[in-house]
């Protein structure tokens, strides 16, 4: 990912990619690969399937570029595809046991620092697993991916008020989950 991504706009890249320019595809991929992978990973917690899922998202997006109407930002459109792929993947995975079962958590005892035995990332992964999918999505997009609420509303095709409400309930549940494990936030 060390390649310089030029200052060309997303819309120009899209037009060039539609015309068959390989380099334009590469620029779009390099510009968004990390963000998309972050979202996919935080939504699915599945390391093994991550590359395949990333491929699924970008191939769907690139093949459907001609349908991108520029009514929204390219990033919003791409994130919407990523969210749909996450939902498909979670449905496919529903038949399998979770990759990180909560029963397997090495929870801290009262004598120990709660965060000393578990890595923070692992802890957050476990906490996210407890949320309903629609709540997890807004937390991941807003708090982990740092997307503005208006964009999240566009990605999920819901009003901004719904995003705020889901965020409120998701955070409350997360606080309770952390509190039950000796972590006050």
Partner 1 sequence: MSDPLSEFLRRNAPRPPAAGDDLEDRILRATLAPARAQSWWSERSPLLVAASLALVLLGTLGWQQQRLDSTLSPVELTALGLSEPTPFLAVDPETDLYDIRF
Which residues sit at the interface with partner 1, rule CB under 8 A? 20, 22, 25-26, 29-30, 33-34, 37-38, 40-42, 45, 47, 50-51, 54-55, 58-59, 62-63, 120-125, 139, 142-146, 171, 174-175, 178, 185
Nearer to partner 1, 53 or 153 (CB): 53
Nearer to partner 1, 142 or 166 (CB): 142
Nearer to partner 1, 125 or 165 (CB): 125
Nearer to partner 1, 123 or 153 (CB): 123
Closest approach, Cβ 121 to partner 1, in A, equals 4
What is the C-alpha to C-alpha distance for residues 47 and 170, in angstroms, rounded to an integer?
Answer: 24
Closest approach, Cβ 135 to partner 1, in A, equals 13
Task: Residue 169: count other Cβ atoms within 10 Å of its Cβ.
Answer: 14
Closest approach, Cβ 118 to partner 1, in A, equals 11
Nearest to 127 by CA among 88, 85, 183: 183
75-78 long-range contacts (CB < 8 A, ≥24 apart) are: 75/10, 75/32, 75/35, 75/151, 76/151, 76/154, 76/155, 78/32, 78/36
Nearer to partner 1, 62 or 84 (CB): 62
DSSP for 29-82, please give it.
HHHHHHHHHHHHHHHH--STTHHHHHHHHHHHHHHTGGG--SSS-HHHHHHHHH
- Rg of the chain over Cα atoms, rounded to whole angstroms, equals 18
Q: Is 98 left (phi over 0), alpha (psi -120 to 50) or beta?
A: beta
Closest approach, Cβ 13 to partner 1, in A, equals 14
Closest approach, Cβ 27 to partner 1, in A, equals 11
Nearer to partner 1, 157 or 180 (CB): 180
Closest approach, Cβ 104 to partner 1, in A, equals 16
């Amino acid at each position: 990912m060390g390649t310089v991504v030029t200052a060309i706009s997303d819309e120009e890249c899209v037009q060039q990619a539609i015309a068959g320019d390989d380099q334009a595809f590469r620029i779009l991929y390099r510009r968004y690969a990390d963000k998309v992978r972050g979202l996919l990973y935080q939504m699915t917690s599945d390391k093994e399937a991550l590359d395949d899922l990333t491929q699924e998202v970008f191939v769907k997006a690139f093949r459907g570029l001609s349908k991108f109407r520029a009514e929204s930002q390219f990033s919003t459109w791409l994130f919407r595809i990523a969210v749909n792929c996450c939902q498909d993947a979670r449905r496919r995975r529903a038949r399998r046991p979770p990759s990180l079962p909560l029963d397997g958590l090495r929870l801290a005892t009262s004598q120990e620092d709660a965060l000393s035995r578990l890595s923070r990332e692992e802890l957050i992964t476990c906490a996210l697993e407890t949320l309903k999918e629609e709540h997890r999505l807004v937390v991941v997009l807003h708090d982990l991916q740092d997307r503005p609420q208006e964009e999240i509303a566009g990605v999920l095709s819901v009003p901004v008020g719904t995003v705020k409400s889901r965020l409120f309930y998701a955070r409350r549940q997360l606080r309770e989950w952390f509190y039950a494990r000796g972590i006050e936030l």
